[in-house]
Amino acid sequence: MPPRRFAVGRTEEAVHPDSIRAALSEFIATAIFVFAAEGSVLALEKLYKDTSTAGGLVVVALAHALALFVAVAVAINISGGHVNPAVTFGALVGGRISLIRAFVYWVAQLLGAVVAALLLRLTTGGMRPPGFSLASGVSELHAVVLEIVMTFGLVYTVYATAIDPKRGQLGTIAPLAIGFVLGANILAGAPFDGAAMNPARAFGPALVGWRWRHHWLYWVGPFVGGGIAGAIYEFLVIPAEITPLAHQPLAPEDY
């Protein structure tokens, strides 16, 4: 059996019609997710002027879970429904996607998040997206570790339900499971650092709202957590005799 491997890919892969369709799918799905997720925070701010209540936390977590469920579902048959640069990175570490394809996905995801944040600012009469920030008493180190742990759980769930060749019928509930773990992590982590778990989700509102304080940790934490999850599931959980690029749902075959 071919060994699992890291693949750079060929340059023509970036402009292949399947890559373009996959990028468009990631762009739209990420925009759908970020618009609904960040929009739920702005809506609470508009209605109650204070989103730091228990009820507000539950509403925001539910909105994120439902939005990600839909975003993954509408993209999974075309691009794999990553909707998250950290998920793409986990798939890259596991050899499920080439570096060139991953780069195309990252660009599409970031653009989708920026467009969603711009649309929110336009449709809400100029409300500034709040993005993510650290709660009082939470250090950057604590926040990075928290993002690593939460993103690990998210990407591990993606691997178990959407990538594992032996997932069977479990693959049909992958979008729901992925949405649920995101919502659960938000309930656990949002009071501390906002619980991004997604660099694109953090980048769009940060750019449009121009809020960059501690922004780096919303890249480092998710990428580290996603990479660890991809490596552990790919190389320790999936049987070694299974070809890594066979039946891959997260990326069309290399060309």
* 103: CB partners within 8 A, 6+ apart: 14
pLDDT digits (tens, 9 = 90+) for 181-220: 999 999 999 999 999 999 999 999 999 999 999 999 999 9
pLDDT digits (tens, 9 = 90+) for 90-111: 999 999 999 999 999 999 999 9
Range name among 45-49, 116-120, 167-171, 230-234 with the lowest pLDDT average: 167-171
* Domains of the chain (ranges, CATH numbers): 11-237 (1.20.1080.10)
pLDDT digits (tens, 9 = 90+) for 223-237: 999 999 999 999 999
Contact present, 6 and 96 (Cβ < 8 Å): no
Tell me which residue has tokens 């920030």.
133
If you write DSSP's letter for every residue of 117-183 in order, what string do you get? HHHHHHHTTSPPP----PPTT--HHHHHHHHHHHHHHHHHHHIIIII-TT-GGGGGGHHHHHHHHHH
